[in-house]
């Protein structure tokens, strides 16, 4: 999206897809990796990310 000039991100979520041999086939919300966090911060400083913290889904600013 960014290569097409899109910069108006409001909220981003990172999702782990299961491997083909995983017994648990559920998608899981995960924290963006360090490189992804830096990229999000550079492109959309006011963006929110959705995380799972202590078993609860929360929405926080990327800077947090």
9-49 pLDDT, tens digit per residue, is 899 999 999 888 989 889 999 999 999 899 888 888 899 99
CA 31-34-39 angle, to 5 degrees, is: 100
pTM recorded for the entire structure: 0.74
The gap from C-alpha 53 to its chain's centroid, in whole angstroms, comes to 13
SS3 state at 3: helix
CA distance 13 to 62: 11
Alpha-helix residue ranges (DSSP H) falling in the chain: 34-43
């Amino acid at each position: 999206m960014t290569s097409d000039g899109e910069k108006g991100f409001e909220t981003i979520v990172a999702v782990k897809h299961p491997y083909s041999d995983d017994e648990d086939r559920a998608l899981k919300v995960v924290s963006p990796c360090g490189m992804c966090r830096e990229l999000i911060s550079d492109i959309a400083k006011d963006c929110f990310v959705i995380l799972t913290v202590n078993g609860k889904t929360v929405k926080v600013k990327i800077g947090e």
